[in-house]
Structure formats: structure tokens, C-alpha cells
A and B are shown apart, each in its own frame.
Chain A
């Protein structure tokens, strides 16, 4: 490895002078054990990333199986409805609990958050590692449950079906999700404390990068909502094992109460998925437009607003479930309130492009795709928050399409975008830009083909979780399935461009995009302790101090501008 020649006014803050680039968090210590027992947030984040991507592959395979089965009415590749039921249950459970929820906070967040804060690590490194192993044991148990007969409850585990079905994998998977929940809690707890206590000098709350705001809001939800999921699953387990009967109608229990319990967590969970995604998009758009984000405070506040609203709208999952008309009305009314901060964010992003200097890098393409898809996902939310239309659309493919637009089209697309955005930082290698962009387009097209069709499918009356369907629906299903194949191809290309870069991809400069926040002022890949001495944070959206540097093929930040600014601020 060659060391980067260091210019006097370096493109990179102290760290590179401090030690050679050959000494980074990846190379600092060697051997498997140095990873297994590492307390370094970056390594833990990277391990999360690989684990999550592996789960994503698994969940994706099940998705393709589902779509293929639905090519024709009746049996296509399996003639056993139970098999199909297990497939969609697994697809849902894996994608929700193993992929989307940990993807951004646990994987990207762990790597980036402390560096963005100019901190050496998260507040509780050991807890961080512990929560990673909680996650792993959850994942393993989840896979184990397949060996024990799988489970066909749907990822929502509705009683009494989940307590009466005779598939053997139910209790293992409940335990697995329980563990995953606590893993998520500890990550969130860690982040809240880190953001509160480890901010560097100069970084006031309203000078935090919006990604931090998003992760902070997410962490609050993780801490406050997830325990309820824990206790709910625990009750479900004792329900199944020792018949405690609190959710069991035949013992005086009440299955609708279970739904209240479940959605009290699982609706906020939707925002655990989307909020950090929004944070990533704010970063990518601001940086690639090389201008200050439009209406910083509105975006920051809307994150918190969404987090708070998310706790009082869960009932809109239960409009037809036998929930009383009064509560339906109440929940419907409140649900609309979430639309407002979401709309504000979208408007602000678009406005950030205005009079900016937009460079269409791969992450930027993902960000634009996100705005497109999230707008669709968000707007179709109106159909489902509206009482009378929801009665018709609930539990049909319309809902399926809606939440795929939000969870996959938004959360996951943003995750992939963020992966491209920070990939050079994480591994010090540049991926193949062209390939990345093409892959992004293919995914985008495939996604819309797959899921837009499902809006028609649903509003035409096709119920979800159906193994078999009326022939009249086939045309939609075929199109949808073709789309899913296109998407699969797109993701394969992405994998090629990203993982390929690890083998002899061009070396990444410290600051390839012209970022202004602290992670871009530290080497790529960062040294094991990020910053030799805690840096001073400037205005992370003031790109006037960012300059292109031919020598490194990246940008560098002129801190003197900061100093002046801070002076004026003080």
C-alpha cells in the first residue's frame, strides 16, 4: 500500500498526518478474533452490514419464489398452499426484522454516527457488541426455526392463528424476534446517549447533520416502542406453551387486544425503518447539490414530529379488525397528521435542488429514485388512512404495494444509496460509478413494474396472502413477477459494482463527494480511533469551504472558514 502524499494544507484533518493510511480500522489489528471481540463501532457496523445483506439475499430469494408461484393461478412451482404460506411468512419476517429494521441504524449508523460526531466510538462499545450478538443469535434462531418445521403465521403473528397453528417453528421464531427486538433497543439506547453526550465542540443540536437527527429520532422510537413488542411476544410464547389465555378467545381472552399490543410497536417500527432513510436522503441530496439543505430546521423538527406521531396512529392497521367505530375515526384523523411532516420533507428535498449544483453520482440517483418512490408510497397512504376507502383496500394487494413502496422503495433504496455514499469511506475503495448508476436505473424500473401493478391488483379486489387467485388477475401477476426478475437482476449488478470494488477498485479519496460533515474529514477508511484529537465541527451544510483537490482526486475542507464562522457565531 502506498501512503497518500500529504499536502501542507491537507485535504484531510489531522488523522492522516497522525498515522499512515496503511493503519486503518480494517488493518489495525488482524485475525478473526480481533473481529469477533472487537469493540470498534466501525467493525461492528461492518459485521452488521454483511449479516444484513446476507439476510436480504435470503429474504429476496423467498420473494422471487413467491412471485414465481403467483405466475399462474393454482399450483405453479409448489402444489402445497402451506409451503407458499411459509414462504411469504419468512419473506416478511426476514425482511422486516432481520433486514430493514437493523439495516440503516445498526449497519450504516454504527459505522457513520460516531465519526459524524467526531467521536472515537459510541457511548457503550461493549453494549454495542452485545447487541450485535443478540442480533446474530436471533438470526440463527430464525434460521433454526426453519429446521423445526418453519412457521406460517404471517409476520404479524395474529392470534389465535399463531397460537393454534401446528407448525413447529413458531416458538423459536417468536424467541428470535424477541432477541432481535432487544438488539434494536440497545442500539437505539447507545445512539441516544452518544448523540446527547459525545457531540464535539461546535456541534450544537441545530448544527447536527440531518442523518444524526434522523438516527436520534429513530433511536427514541426503538427505546420506547420495542419493549412493548418484547412483552407481546413473551405473552404469545406463554400463550402457546402454557395456555395463559390472555389473547385466547376460548379462555375469555381477546385477540383484538393482541393486535393493539402488536401495532403499538409495529407502527412506530415502520418509522424505525423510514426515518433513518430520510436522514440519508437529506445528506445525499445536500452533498450532491453542493448547497445548504433547504429549511434545515423544518426537516429536523419533522423527524421528531414523525417519531412522536408514530405512537398514536397504530389503530389504522385495524380499521376492519373489529375495532370500534369511535377509535377508527380517532385513529384515522390522527393518521393523517403524519402526512404533513412527511410532505414537508419531500418539498424541502426538492427545494434543495433549486439553484444547487447537482452532480448525478450513483448515490444521487438513488436519492432521486427515493423521492419518486416515497412520494407514491406516501400519497397512497392517504387511501389507506381514509376510512371508507380503507375498508375496501385493507388486506388487499393495494396495501402490499403501498408498504413495499415505503419500506423497500424508500427505506431499502435509501439504504443502498447510503451504502454507495459511504462505501468509499467504509472500505477506501471506489465502486464502478457507471455500473452503479445503471444498476440503480434497472432496480428503479423493475421496482415500479413489480409494485405499481399491485396497486391495480389490490383495488380490483385481490386479497393478500393468497396462494391461488381468480384467472382475471393473472395479467397483473405476470407483469408483477417479470418486474421482480428485473429487480433481482438490478440488485445483482449492484452487488457486482460494490463487492467488485473491494478487489482492486480505485483507492477512494477521503472526501469523494465534497461532503462537509466530519466523517468526510477523516481518512477513508478511517483510522481505528477516527480522530486523534476531537475535531471542531463547523456548519455541516456550508459547502463554500469545500474545495476540489486534483492531487487526491477528492475534495478538502478549508477549516479556516469554520474558525471565522465560529467567531461570528460566538
Chain B
């Protein structure tokens, strides 16, 4: 049960699974080609799309490596689960931390102290410091 039957006419060791050469070489070529494609796509201006495209290609390449080179296609599903889970946890961390930074980013200074007030005004309209002028002398 450690190895499955659909390794076409290949040697079966006592444990594990032997990947046919043509799979390996094919995977290698595919990866090289995809690398070429991604480099080419970079010189094409797709505006917003560049990053997603590059990442999509990377994902495909990663999948090939994982399934063929790393035997996951023939391996126990749980090992695949382990890999996917770890990736998901990275995304989880990215999602939450990213959302938060995105939320509070406007409150981060950008400029030197003499410009802080303008900066705050620019970064966060209606930000406290900006209102100092309007409420000036409000105390009296």
C-alpha cells in the first residue's frame, strides 16, 4: 500500500514508488519553459495583472515540483495535506496581519517632524492634529 499500481510497467521496490524517467524529464522541461514564459511576461506591461500572472505561473511550477519531483502524486495524501496546510497557515497569517496594517497604515508618519501636521492632514483627512486649528482656543 506504500506504492500504487499505476506506475506504468515500472520496477516496484519493497517500499516507495519509482517515478518513470519520462515524467521527471518532462517536468524538468516544463519548468524551464515556464521560467522562460514568466520572464517574458515580465517585459509585457499588464498593469495590475503582472503580479497575479507571475504568481500564477509560480504556483504551476510549484505544483509540478511537488507532484512529480516530490512524488506527492503517488505519495500518501496526508503528506500532501501537510504541505498544503503549512501554505494555508502562511496565508492565514498574511491575511490577518495584512488586513491590519492596511487598516492602520494612514496613521503612519511619512515626513520629518516639521511636516508632521501636514502629513497627518494628508494621510488621514480629519486626523486629530489637523483639527487643532479648527478647535483652537476651544478651551477658553
A and B touch in the complex (CB under 8 A): yes
Q: A-B pairs with CB below 8 Å: how many?
A: 44
Q: Which residue of chain B has its CB nearest to the CB of A228?
A: B93
A224 in contact with B89 (CB, 8 Å): yes
Interface string of A295-324 (1 = CB under 8 A from B): 000000000000000011011000000111
Report which of B86, B96, B104 forms a contact with A224, defined as CB distance below 8 A. Answer: B86
Docked pose: A330 CA to B96 CA in angstroms: 10
- Point out the residues of chain B lying under 8 angstroms from A261, CB to CB: 97
A33 touches B (CB below 8 Å): no
Return the 6 tightest CB-CB contacts between A and B, nearest first. Answer: A324-B103, A260-B97, A327-B100, A324-B104, A264-B93, A324-B100
Cβ-defined contact, A327 with B93, below 8 A? no
Least Cβ–Cβ distance between A275 and chain B, in angstroms: 18
CB-CB < 8 A to A257: which residues of B? Answer: 97, 101
Q: Which residues of B contact A564 (CB under 8 A)?
A: none
Q: Which of A200-250 contact B (CB under 8 A)?
A: 224, 228
The reply on A326 being an interface residue by CB < 8 A is: yes
In chain A, residues 243-271, which have Cβ atoms closer than 8 Å to a Cβ of chain B?
254, 256-257, 260-261, 264
Tell me, rounded to whole Å, the shortest Cβ–Cβ distance linking B25 to chain A.
33
List residues of chain B with CB within 8 A of the CB of A311: 89, 92
Residue numbers in B under 8 Å from A312 (CB-CB): 92, 96
B100 touches A315 (CB 8 A): yes
| Contact between chains at A326 and B85 (CB < 8 Å) | no
A441-481 vs B: 1/0 string, CB under 8 Å?
A: 00000000000000000000000000000000000000000
Q: Which residues of A approach B to under 8 Å, CB–CB? A: 196, 224, 228, 254, 256-257, 260-261, 264, 311-312, 314-315, 322-327, 330-331
Q: Which of B91-114 contact A (CB under 8 A)?
A: 92-93, 96-97, 99-101, 103-104, 107-108
Q: Tell me, in angstroms, the Cα distance from A478 to B103 when the chains sit together.
A: 44
Q: Which residues of A contact B85 (CB under 8 A)?
A: 224
B interface residues (Cβ-Cβ under 8 A, vs A): 78, 85-86, 89, 92-93, 96-97, 99-101, 103-104, 107-108
Q: Given A257-B97, A261-B97, A327-B99, list of 4 further CB < 8 A pairs?
A: A315-B96, A324-B100, A324-B103, A326-B100
CA distance A323 to B101 in the complex (A): 8
A323 close to B100 (CB less than 8 A): yes
Q: Is the CB of B89 within 8 A of A327?
A: no
Report the bound CA distance from A389 to B78 in whole Å: 43
CB distance from A512 to the nearest CB of B (A): 38
Q: Which residues of B contact A196 (CB under 8 A)?
A: 78
Task: Out of A254, A314, A322, A326, name the residue touching B99 (CB < 8 Å).
Answer: A326
Asked if A254 contacts B101 (CB within 8 A), the reply is yes
Closest B residue to A324 using CB positions: B103
Asked whether, in the complex, the Cβ of B97 is within 8 Å of the Cβ of A254, the reply is no
Residue of A315, A327, A330, A331 most packed against chain B (CB within 10 A)? A327
Give Cα A314–Cα B92 distance, bound, in whole angstroms. 12
- CB neighbours of B108 from chain A (8 A): 254
Question: B104 — which chain A residues lie within 8 A by C-beta?
Answer: 256, 322-324
Which residues of the partner chain A approach B89 to less than 8 Å between Cβ atoms? 224, 311
Chain A's nearest CB lies how many Å from the CB of B2?
A: 12
A323 CB contacts on chain B under 8 angstroms: 100, 104
B100 / chain A contacts, CB cutoff of 8 Å: 256, 260, 315, 323-324, 326-327
CA distance A84 to B53 in the complex (A): 55
Residues on the B chain within 8 Å of A254, using CB: 101, 108
The 10 listed contacts between A and B (C-beta, < 8 Å) are: A196-B78, A224-B89, A256-B104, A257-B97, A311-B89, A312-B96, A315-B96, A324-B104, A326-B100, A326-B103
Contacts of A224 in B (CB 8 A): 85-86, 89
A551 CB to nearest B CB, Å: 46
